[in-house]
Chain A
Amino acid sequence: MRAAALARHIPAPLQLGLLAAALVLAIALPYLTSSFYVSVATQILFFGLLAMSIDLLGGYTGLMPLGHAGVLGISAYTMGYLVSRLRWGWVEAAGVALALTVLVSLLFGFLAVRTRGIFFVMITMAEGMLVWGLAYRWASVTGAENGIRGIARPAFATLYWQYYYFALVVFLLCALALWLLVRSPFGLTLRGIRESESRMRTLGYNVTLHKLLAFTISGFFAGVAGLLYAWYNQYISPSSVHISASTEGLLMVVLGGAGTLLGPVLGAAVIVAVKNLLSMYVARWPTVLGLIFIVVVLFAKDGLVGLGRRGWAAWQQRQQRPVSAAAPGAYPMAVDEERAATGS
């Protein structure tokens, strides 16, 4: 009874087909719609990347960070300062910004990964607020509340559609890297830590080191998102690194489905769309966003991706029902296969 096991998972060819369709749509987008919607799509790309970096920690490792907008801010501010004030080229500026972000992430991670649960949340929140405080108070570098203006994009990506393709390529490369990462032995170890830290430790894994590495890698991708963010707006100010921005990133993960790579991007798409598109028609768009969250938390704790999976499973079940009724002996086998498939 292969079908029963498959019911839980959308088959690989179909998944690939859907992904390819999404890719084609993403590439064709600037031809299909106006510059404004392309700009909104660009936002989905970098917010999606930020959400994926949060999910690497939150969904895969079981450590929900509440300061990732701060990590994003380190790279955005560094690059912005180098490009706009010191007139550096974009490659050098981006390189230095990412290196600094990785260093600071390592330091932040060093402080944070000794803890878990609510303590981890509190420490990462404090780290995020630290960056915000610097952005807000270190006026000679960050421009304080006035922010850093005139952050020039790379010369080949100045127009909206050029920048969109640039962001798309960067996004796809990062998504591919993250996909390979979470499927690697390292990624499986992270999931093991999420399920049971003590068991992993007993098995001989250096849990703290794994968590520290996860934190740093996550910081790197948040840093890349920060570069895309700063170039997109050509402006960065303290509100972009405020805790509310961190919370929003976390909400994207929860909304889309933690522990998946597609989920955070879907979550980012929904939130960006509600904020920028729905708000054209509904003045009380924050209420709509709140209602969406309540519905998701109440009825789909595993987010939109979980909802999609369960929807698919239910649909498959309905298709298969006559078959399983005809072969009652198949039931125990199906359970075994299902176990094998989910790895439990």
Chain B
Amino acid sequence: MGRWRTWAAVAGILALVAACAPPGAPGSGAGQQAAGPIKAGVLASLTGVSAASGQDMVNGWNLYWKLNGATVAGRQLQTLVEDDASEPNTGLTKARQFVEQQQVDFIVGPLLANIGYAVADYVKTTGTPTFFPIVAADDLTQRARVDNVIKVAGWGSSQVTHVQGDWAYDQGYRRVLTICADYAFGHEVCGGFVRAFTARGGQILTQLWFPLNTPDFGSYLAQIPGANPDAVFVLTVGADSVRFVKQWAEFGLKDRVPLLATETMLDQSVLRSMGPEAEGLISLGHWAEGRPARETQDMVDAYLREYNQLPSYYAAAMFAAAGWIAKAIERLNGNISDRKAFLDAVRRTEVSGPFGQQKLDDYGAPILNVYVRQVERRPDGRLWNVPIKTYENVSQFWTFGADKFLKQPLYSREFQGTPEQLRALGLQP
């Protein structure tokens, strides 16, 4: 047993050492030289449920550097891509790896809101400049914002649908039924519509919520004729979108009931898999690949050449974010070692990219164009979204004003922003 005692003694001494002499601080933020390459950490979901859109993200990011050369202000730009496996725990580890191991200058990504929240909390402690072109979760730039997290070329979940509520009222619709995916993004998107539509005086008949990955929408669609709404507002994402649009047509609703479709429902990422059933549908979105402006069409053509498909908003936003960040780095002549100066430069940068004119508000959210888009068939047979009307300079607070808006809670299944709910909370409708 002598050996055991020796080991125990050694272990005890080591434990003491560990308790007394803490190791040095983490390697975060250490020595970025002004001359070496700029390191960008791109966090995307390349495996798991969101893998297809995650690949679009990486494609969009890479396309920008391919077209413009991977050099900014004389410094080489080095991209490190990591897969978050569509899961916050892994996403967080990858963010740690970027910051502590690879010492990136900034992080771009991820795709999913829950990973975005987790990463935002982590980079809050390290101060790493972090850009979210895809994650739309409202609170990231509202009630729970983090100074070094900016939605560069991004958007907010309810930002587009606030406009849609207003637009729907202008179309003469007064009684609307909503069908939305039952998770945080769905609650926020739907809440935006309900808030703005009811603020104008519109009436919400019923709100139906369906679980993600619903194979059959029949039970929801069957309730529409009885309610006899002027229009139906629908939010779907991913494969649900393809199924919904198909069943909407099969139920014969396409010609009878106006559909207020949302951005993710008819985004290129799913529109690619749709057929004639989608043609003519109108949705509102911050991305419109059919926008005739040169900066949009140049990007769309280049993407088509490179990847043989039209860019989804995932691809376009990463492309636009790359351009935005590059412009900010150029303003600083490549010297981004002062993170505060770098973040300020990004905040002050205004761009006119594939999304149109964009700048950031005081909360790190973009002020952007919202397009009323119609699905049309291109001469090459592909479907795409062509804008028929543009709302310029749309704020995440719509016309409600930041102070007033931030008094109301985050949109959720319980709080959709109807006048009754606002009054119950002691707020002005």
Q: Is A145 an interface residue (CB 8 A)?
A: yes
A144 to B188: give the CA distance in the assembly, Å.
12
Whether the pair B3, A17 counts as a contact (CB closer than 8 A) is yes
C-alpha gap A88/B183 in the complex (Å):
28
Residue pair B23, A31 in contact (C-beta under 8 Å): yes
From known contacts A147-B117, A149-B117, A233-B89, infer whether A27 and B14 are also in contact, taking CB-CB under 8 Å: yes
The answer to whether A28 and B7 touch (CB under 8 A), given A39-B96, A237-B88, A237-B117, is: no
CB 8 Å contact bits of B1-34 with A (1 = contact, 0 = none):
0011001101100110011001100111000000
The residue on A at minimum CB distance from B185 is A145
For B187, give its contact among A39, A139, A149, A283 (CB under 8 Å).
A139
The answer to whether B101 has its CB under 8 Å from any CB of chain A is yes
Chain B residues near A161 (CB-CB < 8 A): 22-23
Given A35-B27, A160-B26, A162-B22, decide whether A28 and B14 contact each other with a Cβ distance below 8 A.
yes
- Give the distance to chain A from B147, nearest Cβ to Cβ, in Å: 15
The interface residues of chain B lying within 8 Å CB-to-CB of A283 are 46, 83
Does B345 make an interface contact (CB < 8 A)?
no
* Contact status A36-B100, CB under 8 Å: yes
Cα of A243 to Cα of B101 in the assembled complex, Å: 31
A40 interfacial contact with B, CB 8 Å: yes
Contact residues of B between 84 and 133, Cβ < 8 Å to A:
85-90, 92-94, 96-97, 100-101, 113-114, 117-118, 121-122
Cα-based distance from A234 to B113 in the complex (angstroms): 16
Interface residues on A, range: 35 or more
C-alpha spacing A143/B114, complex, angstroms: 10
A165 interface hit (Cβ, 8 Å)? yes
Known: A147-B114, A233-B118. A39 touches B100 (CB 8 A): yes
Residue B82 interfacial (CB < 8 Å): yes
**Which of A2-10, A91-99, A204-212, A272-280 sits within the interface?**
A272-280
- B412 is an interface residue with CB less than 8 A from chain A: yes
- Chain B residues, Cβ within 8 Å of A28: 14, 18
Q: Does A150 contact B121, Cβ atoms closer than 8 Å?
A: yes
Is the C-beta of A239 less than 8 angstroms from some C-beta in chain B?
yes
List residues 150-183 of chain A with CB under 8 A from any CB of chain B.
150, 159-162, 165
Q: Which residues of B contact A267 (CB under 8 A)?
A: none
- B137 CB–A CB distance under 8 Å: yes
Residues of B within 8 A of A311 (CB): none
* Complex: chain A residue closest to B209, CB-CB: A137
B230 at the interface (CB under 8 A from A): no
Asked whether B228 is an interface residue with its Cβ less than 8 Å from the other chain, the reply is no
User: How far, in Å, is B111 (CB) from chain A's closest CB?
Assistant: 13
Min Cβ gap A261→B in Å is: 19
Confirm or deny: A342 has a beta carbon within 8 angstroms of a beta carbon on chain B: no
A240 and B91 CA atoms in complex are apart in Å by: 12
Contact with B along A5-44 (1 / 0, CB 8 A): 0000000010011001001100110110011110110010
* Chain B 395-429 interface mask (CB, 8 Å, partner A; 1/0): 00000000000000000111000000000000000
Mark contacts of B186-197 with chain A using CB atoms, 8 A cut-off: 1 yes-contact digit, 0 otherwise: 010000000000
Residue of B8, B19, B93 with most partner-chain A CB within 10 A: B93
The reply to whether the CB of B52 lies closer than 8 angstroms to some CB of chain A is no
Contact between chains at A146 and B414 (CB < 8 Å): no
Q: Does B279 contact A (CB under 8 A)?
A: no
Q: Does A90 contact B (CB under 8 A)?
A: no
- Compute how far the CA of A275 lies from the CA of B90 in the bound complex, rounded to whole angstroms: 8
Closest A residue, CB atoms, query B85: A275
Given contacts A147-B117, A149-B144, contact A276 B93 (CB under 8 A): yes
A16 / chain B contacts, CB cutoff of 8 Å? 3-4, 7
Is B376 at the interface (CB under 8 A from chain A)? Answer: no
Q: Do residues B18 and A27 form an inter-chain contact, with CB atoms below 8 A? A: yes
B11 touches A146 (CB 8 A): no
Instruction: Report the minimal beta-carbon distance from A97 to chain B, rounded to whole angstroms.
Output: 19
Partner of A239, one of B87, B121, B185, B412: B87
Please, which residues of chain B bring their CB within 8 A of the CB of A143? 184
The answer to whether A144 touches B121 (Cβ under 8 A) is: no
Known: A31-B23, A144-B183. A39 touches B93 (CB 8 A): yes
The answer on a CB contact under 8 Å between A35 and B97 is no
In the bound complex, CA of A16 to CA of B19 (Å): 24
Is B207 in contact with chain A by the CB < 8 A criterion?
Answer: no
A186 to chain B, nearest CB (A): 26
Inter-chain contact A34/B185, CB cutoff 8 Å: no
Q: Which of A17, A39, A43, A279 contacts B83 (CB 8 A)?
A: A279
- Residue in A23, A37, A144, A279 whose beta carbon sits within 8 Å of that of B412 in the complex: A144
Q: Are A280's CB and B27's CB within 8 A?
A: no
Q: Identify which of A24, A36, A137, A165 contacts B96 (C-beta below 8 A).
A: A36
Q: Which residue of B lies closest to A229 (CB)?
A: B89
Q: Which of A28, A30, A35, A275 is packed against the most chain B CB atoms within 10 Å?
A: A35
**B139 at the A interface (CB under 8 A):** yes
For residue A140, CB closer than 8 A to chain B, the reply is: yes
* Least distance between B385 CB and chain A CB atoms (Å): 26
Please indicate the chain A residues that have their CB under 8 angstroms from the CB of B101 in the complex.
Answer: 34, 36-37
Chain A proximity of B233: nearest CB distance (Å): 20
Q: How far is the CB of B341 from chain A (nearest CB, A)?
A: 26
Q: Contacts A139-B187, A144-B183, A161-B22; is A24 near B10 (CB within 8 Å)?
A: yes
**Most central of B7, B86, B89, B93 by chain A CB within 10 Å:** B89
Query: In the bound complex, what is the Cα–Cα distance between A162 and B25 (angstroms)?
Result: 11
Task: Give the residues in chain A near B117, CB-CB below 8 Å.
Answer: 146-147, 149, 235, 237
Given known A-B contacts A235-B88, A237-B118, A240-B89, A35 and B7 have beta carbons under 8 A apart = no
> Which of chain A's residues have a CB closer than 8 A to the CB of B19?
165
Going nearest first, the 9 A-B pairs with the smallest beta carbon separation are A35-B26, A20-B7, A145-B184, A36-B101, A36-B100, A237-B114, A235-B118, A145-B183, A27-B14
Interface positions of A (Cβ within 8 A of B): 13, 16-17, 20, 23-24, 27-28, 30-31, 34-37, 39-40, 43, 136-137, 139-140, 143-147, 149-150, 159-162, 165, 233-235, 237-240, 275-276, 279-280, 283, 285-286
Selected A-B contacts with CB under 8 Å, 24 pairs? A20-B7, A20-B8, A34-B27, A34-B100, A35-B26, A35-B100, A36-B97, A36-B100, A36-B101, A39-B96, A139-B184, A140-B412, A144-B413, A146-B139, A147-B114, A147-B117, A159-B22, A237-B118, A239-B88, A275-B90, A276-B94, A279-B83, A279-B94, A283-B83
